[in-house]
Amino acid sequence: MLIKLVLVLTLFLASAAQAESAKVPLQKLTALSSIQLRCINGSESISVPVPERWNVRRAILTLRYSVSNNLIGEISQMIVKVNDEPVAQTKLNPQAPNVEAAIDIPVNLLKPGYNVLSFHVSQHYSRQQCEPPCAPDLWTNVSVVDSFIELEYDLKPVPRRLGAATAMIFDPKQFPEVDVHIVTDRLTAEAATLATVVASGIARRFDYRKVRFSVSRELRPGVDNVLIGSRKFALAALAVNSIELPQGDGGLLKIFHLPEKEGGWDPLHALIVIADERAAALKIAAATLANMSMPYPDTDELHALEFSMPDVTMYSGRNVLSSDKVYDFRTLNLPTTTFHGLNSNSVTLSFRLPADFLIKQNHYAKLSVNFSYGAGLKNNSALNVSVNGKALRAIHLDSVSGNFIDGYKIDIPTYVFKPGANTISFSPSLNTLGGLCETLQTDGLFVTLYENSTLYFPPMPHFVEMPKIELFALNGFPFTRWPDGYETIVYLPKPDDVALATALNVVGMVTQRNGFPLFGTQVTFDEPAGWGGEILVVGKANDVPKHYMEAAPLKLSDTPRVPYPTVGSWNAEAAIAYSRQKSGLGTGTGIIMEFESMYKKGRSVLVFTSQNNEGLATLGDAVLDPGVQGGITGDLVVIDLSNPKYPVTSLRVGNKYSTGNKGNISVLDSFLYANVYVFYGALALSILSLGLLGYWGLRRYRAKRAAAAQGK
């Protein structure tokens, strides 16, 4: 008996020791900056992802919230629900306004997928019946920064079925971050290009989830591996377990459990093999893997014979709104929504505008809203519309008997929009006709916003002043002008695994921002002299060619000329001091620089560099950090890699140039744009010259006419 008990205990401890854990602040799970629960019955919810691959053992929600001092603790309470099941309730005690509470969430409530974690309050500041339902005193605030959810889980074995396994392995619900190792048989530009295709496709499958790539010639234990290379190389990697690869036409795609060094398999991680002797077949197989977004095939292998992507148009991408086109709300992921009660939440229409939109000032986006509302609304009720957080219009709900409004038109000046992500929010502010001390009937308080409402954005030119690394952070511009990265080349001056891994991380980040895999991007190890497109350079500072560095805003030579911003001017360019010095980059600094391509006007070069491999690898990790992405701007970005928070310093110091007009801007346009006073001069000159020419012509004409009139 005792032995049995010891065995069970040992097994339990062993399994407990193998369990992994993830701790995520709620901030990472919601776009809200805080959860404000207002009125007598406020509620808010967030989604908690649980990956298919996880077998959750334990879930603890640590909640930190503040309550209004004016609440009456005895009759105010908060309920926490998971998927609509209450898991905790607590009194909102004003005597203890700041509370930290740990809530054990029953794991059986957590299903693979997105779980709704909701907070509901019933709060009062008066015991009387005559309590205003939305008095300012009625609030509870849940901090999303200090509250977090902690999950303990085991990994489930990876099924050896390609369709199911890829959905499980490249599951964006895994958090907080994921590692994928790519194994290539050799370090050539072709192999690196294939790795880029694979990494880009995988990154897209992970949606916005941070995914970190590493590259080597060997399998890496403890993470999922993707092997790309010849059949011979693949066989060598699997040799320890004596596996044969099947023959067949097309590139082979096969899934295994991850072989262990000593032989045997790690069933919790996968090895996906993409093998063929032909580069083209490999690429087809890689692209197939990267796009396998449904559980098919149910086999562990396939031979990829052909693969084609849908036709892409310039400037398209994830949630990118095409101009001059009418979208209904359903298309924009906003289905018909009903707002109920006094304090209903808002809904948001999220979309992106191309990063290089030249937003004109006098145009209007057209919003046509179809909605209905209930009877008995007080005449101060309204449906508020805001754009990018700025209140724009309150639609007056002024009919006591309710109404159905079809095609309520709102003209939104385009200058309230910005390139990149934009939002249009609808939040009702409903009030009932009843008096303060009357029994309030709130069931009639509703507004329904219909999905056939429409949004139209007028046409805008694609033209932008460069360099702007913030556009790169926004959606990978200008490398995503063609969403598949066509016309983009990745240049690794001195190729090694670290530089390639950094490049893959950058490519992955771009893919995630734009939502389309960069299948059209090439990798080169030779200088792309004469290249007519965009160039992404990744390498150590000493490896980047000198003339690249000379063109860059920070010339990293032996005696670099370093820009230092001075204070006191709104004109950023004029407020830069320069120091020529003999100094070094150091090991803890990463640099990102953007400047005009020396090969073609209007095209850009973006350089990612650091002093050594370690720095380069850290830089690759840093660019995946949303905080870093939000902070980079201008044409020179310096990232402190020694600080885990990666503080960023951004400057705008280099020469300006412009790009746009569907990717082709004439040399003359570009020159005049950068030298506006030359334009003024040329304009004056052309008017003067034309005037002189006109004068000359007219004088001759008049002389002739006068001679005729005088009979000469």
Partner 1 sequence: MMSRLLKLDSGNHSWQVPAAVLLAGALIYSIHFSGTYFNFDHQIGLGWVGLGVIYLLYKTGIADRQPWRIVFILLSGFLAARYILWRSFDTLAYTGPVDFVAMCILYAAELYAITIHFMGLFINAWPMTSPTVPLSDDPAQLPSVDVLIPTYNEPDEIVLATATAATQIDYPKEKLHIYIIDDGGTENKRNHPEKGMDAWERHYRMKQIAADLGIGYITRETNRQAKAGNINHALHYTSSDLILILDCDHVPTHDFLKNTVGHFLADEKLFLVQTPHFFINPCPVEKNLEGVANPSGENDMFYRTIHPAMNAWNSSYFCGSAAVLRRKYLEEVGGICGTTITEDAETAFQLHSRGYNSVYVNKPMVCGLSPESFDDYVIQRSRWAQGMVQLVLLNNPLKTPGLSLPQRISYFNSSFFWFFGFSRFIYFVAPASFLIFGLNIYDASWLQILAYAAPFVLSTFVVMNFFYKGTRQPFFSEIYESVQAMFLIPAVISVLLHPRKPSFKVTPKGVMNQNNYLSPLSAPFFLVILVNIVALVLAGIKWFDEPILRDVIMVTGVWCVYNLYLALVSLGAFWERKQVRKFHRISASGPVNVHFPRMKQAVAGEVKDISLSGIGFEIAPPFPIKTQERVILEAKDSYGQQYHFESKLQRIVKKGDLYFCGGEFMTNLVAYPNIVSFVFGDSQRWRDNWEMKSRSRRSARMLFYFLRMGIKAVKDCAFMLLKQALAALWKMLVKWCSTPYLRDKLVAVGGWFWYELYLGFIWGMEHIEHRHARKFSRMSANGTAMVDFPLHNAHVIGRLSDVSLTGVGMVMDVPFEVHEQEPVAIDVKDSEGHEYHLDCTVKRAVERDGHLLCGAEFVIDMHSFPEIVRYVYGESLTDIALHAVRPHAH
Q: Which is nearer to partner 1, 261 or 712 (CB)?
A: 712
- Residue 420: CB minimum distance to partner 1, A: 19
Identify the residue whose tokens are 């990149």: 420
DSSP assignments along 421-435, one per residue: EEEEEEEEE--BSS-
Q: Which two tokens stand for residue 75?
A: 């009759």
- Residue 97: CB minimum distance to partner 1, A: 15
Alpha carbons 120 and 377: distance in angstroms, whole number: 24
Question: Quick one: which segment of 119-127, 396-404, 538-546, 566-574 binds partner 1 (CB under 8 A)?
Answer: 119-127
* Residue of 405, 407, 400, 406 whose CA lies nearest to 445: 400
Alpha carbons 452 and 189: distance in angstroms, whole number: 49
683 counts as binding partner 1 under rule CB under 8 A: yes
Binding mask 459-488 for partner 1 (x = CB under 8 A): --x-x-------------------------
Cβ partners under 8 Å of residue 126, min gap 6:
72
Cβ partners under 8 Å of residue 478, min gap 6:
356, 466, 471, 472, 534, 603, 604, 659
Binding mask 130-149 for partner 1 (x = CB under 8 A): x-------------------
689 counts as binding partner 1 under rule CB under 8 A: yes
Binding mask 411-450 for partner 1 (x = CB under 8 A): x-x---------------------x-xx------------
| Residue from the set 132, 172, 444, 458 that interacts with partner 1 by CB under 8 A | 458
| Residue from the set 344, 611, 658, 659 that interacts with partner 1 by CB under 8 A | 658
208 counts as binding partner 1 under rule CB under 8 A: no
Q: Which is nearer to partner 1, 67 or 271 (CB)?
A: 67
- Residue 428: CB minimum distance to partner 1, A: 20
Question: What angle do the packed helices 189-205 and 497-514 form, to 10 degrees?
Answer: 40
Alpha carbons 645 and 417: distance in angstroms, whole number: 30
| Residue from the set 247, 308, 361, 571 that interacts with partner 1 by CB under 8 A | 361
705 counts as binding partner 1 under rule CB under 8 A: yes
Helices (H), 545-638: 546-551, 613-622, 626-631
Alpha carbons 282 and 286: distance in angstroms, whole number: 6
Identify the residue whose tokens are 């334990």: 58
Helices first, then strands: H and E counts in the chain: 12, 37
| Residue from the set 32, 60, 72, 394 that interacts with partner 1 by CB under 8 A | 72
326 counts as binding partner 1 under rule CB under 8 A: no
Binding mask 268-287 for partner 1 (x = CB under 8 A): --------------------
Q: Which is nearer to partner 1, 532 or 691 (CB)?
A: 691
Q: Which is nearer to partner 1, 108 or 439 (CB)?
A: 439
688 counts as binding partner 1 under rule CB under 8 A: yes
Indicate left, alpha or beta for 376 from its phi (over 0: left) and psi (-120 to 50: alpha). left
DSSP assignments along 664-702, one per residue: ---HHHHHHHH-HHHHHHHHHHHHHHHHHHHHHHHHHHH
364 counts as binding partner 1 under rule CB under 8 A: yes
Task: List interacting residues with partner 1 (CB under 8 A).
Answer: 70, 72, 125-128, 130, 360-364, 366, 392-393, 409, 411, 413, 435, 437-438, 458, 461, 463, 658, 661, 669, 672-673, 676, 679-680, 682-683, 686-702, 704-706, 708-711
